[in-house]
Structure 1
Amino acid sequence: MSVTTAREVLRGLAGSALPGWDAVAPLLRAKTLRKGEYLFHVGEARPSIFIVTRGLVKMVYETSEGGAWVKAFAGEGTCFASLVALAPGGVTSFSTQAVVESRVEQLDYGEVRRLASRHLEWQRAVSRAFEVYGLRKEKREMELLTLSAEERYQRFLDEHPDLAPLLSQRDIASYIRVTPVALSRIRSRLRRRRAS
């Protein structure tokens, strides 16, 4: 089985080799997560960039009433961070949990910033990572604000056919921002339409 590496992901973002990698490699911290295990919880100081090298994790916002909504999923080859936690004194605004057994590599953001201040290639990697994040976030906001729940579900299935079989219906419902009961109704409606 091929495992993606943080080096491959960051090099892909930069579009070229990254100078100083030999000094960075020992700073990477890898963690293997069992299904359901948390990488971090909301409110933790985690000024790091995380790269999923195997598996799938979900990022979850928790409500004051004890509920939770899935913000995003990150599969193999995806990097993510809690942007709030990257600021001096910042803490994570969401929790991250493994959907399946996963491996995640962590790199201190201060080290990445230091490298970006000295090397154009690292600047490109950081810039591209923020660009990808911004595009993903804008698309997600547009879907939540302009599409019906049924349209969001159909788009999720169309764009993420590889994820759907790995996820519980509760996680899918949470991601498209409906209750599990509402998702069940949507699925029934779609099945009836396909059958007729």
Structure 2
Amino acid sequence: MRRTRSSTSDAFQRLAGSALPEWSVVEGAACERRLRPGEALFLAGERKPFVFVVNEGIVKMVYETPNGDSWVKGFAESGVCFASVAALEEDGLTSFSSYAVVESCIHQIDYRVLLRLAGQHIAWQRAIANALKFYGQRKERREMELLTLSPEDRYIRFMHDNPELVAALRQSDIASYIRVTPVALSRIKSRLGKQGDQ
């Protein structure tokens, strides 16, 4: 997989659609995290009132059940910012865990710093509003796929929409994301392979 690198300023400026004032405040509040493959960025149930920006690598977000099952909620690639929305509330806790898929570099920024900037500057208000809008759009699409598409159709769509991401993922992560077992995913791939041979 080709390694791409982005910057925190690029990610926020894309959200704002313009340059952002007082960027030095964000730089001063940002903490760089470097993770090895499989290393946790955070675990469910932690106080993490932060926005995370993936500058390099891939992070997977995972819901984990008390009986040990886990399901991939989504992925964040280079140039994408994300957060546990539940953890951004006062005294909130993260509702999912996140792990590096490959070696990753992530900036961690205190959400309260971003809110203060949004209270002073329209461009920062726009950046945060767009981040929440895009989050809502992704969430709605994810719900639609899970509720209306067959596992096979979910797999086809995921492969079509994420060719570069797929190259870095384990099959178990893809299976978890489309909500099937690895064995069921193997059967889906076998069926699709046979159809392609006809």
Tell me, yes or no, whether TM beats 0.5: yes
Partner of 2:39: 37
Q: 1:73 aligns with which of 59, 72, 75?
A: 75
Amino acid at match of 1:17: A
Q: What is the TM-score normalised by the length of structure 2?
A: 0.97
Partner of 2:110: 108
CA shift at 1:13, angstroms? Answer: 0.5
Q: What residue ranges of structure 2 are gaps of 5+ in the alignment?
A: none
Partner of 2:136: 134
Deviations 1:33-59 (A, max 9, x none): 001111000011000100000000100
Deviations 1:90-128 (A, max 9, x none): 010000000000000011001101110110000000000
**Preserved CA contact (<8 Å) 2:152 2:188:** yes
Q: How many residues align?
A: 196
- Aligned pairs (5 A) from 1:81-100: 81-100=83-102
- Indicate the SS of the match to 1:59: strand
- Indicate the SS of the match to 1:163: helix
Percent of pairs with identical residues: 54
Q: 1:9 aligns with which of 8, 11, 15?
A: 11
- Indicate the SS of the match to 2:145: helix
Amino acid at match of 1:129: A
- Indicate the SS of the match to 2:167: helix
Deviations 1:30-87 (A, max 9, x none): 1110011110000110001000000001000001210100000000000000000000
CA shift at 1:2, angstroms? Answer: 6.2
Q: What is the TM-score normalised by the length of structure 1?
A: 0.98
Distance 1:50 1:22 in 2: 17
Distance 1:48 1:180 in 2: 33
Distance 1:51 1:23 in 2: 16
Deviations 1:145-196 (A, max 9, x none): 0000000000000000111111111100000000111101000000000011
Q: 1:147 aligns with which of 146, 149, 172?
A: 149
**Cα pair distance change 1:2/1:42, threshold 3 Å:** closer
Question: What is the RMSD computed on CA atoms of the aligned residues?
Answer: 0.9
Distance 1:78 1:23 in 2: 20
Amino acid at match of 2:12: L
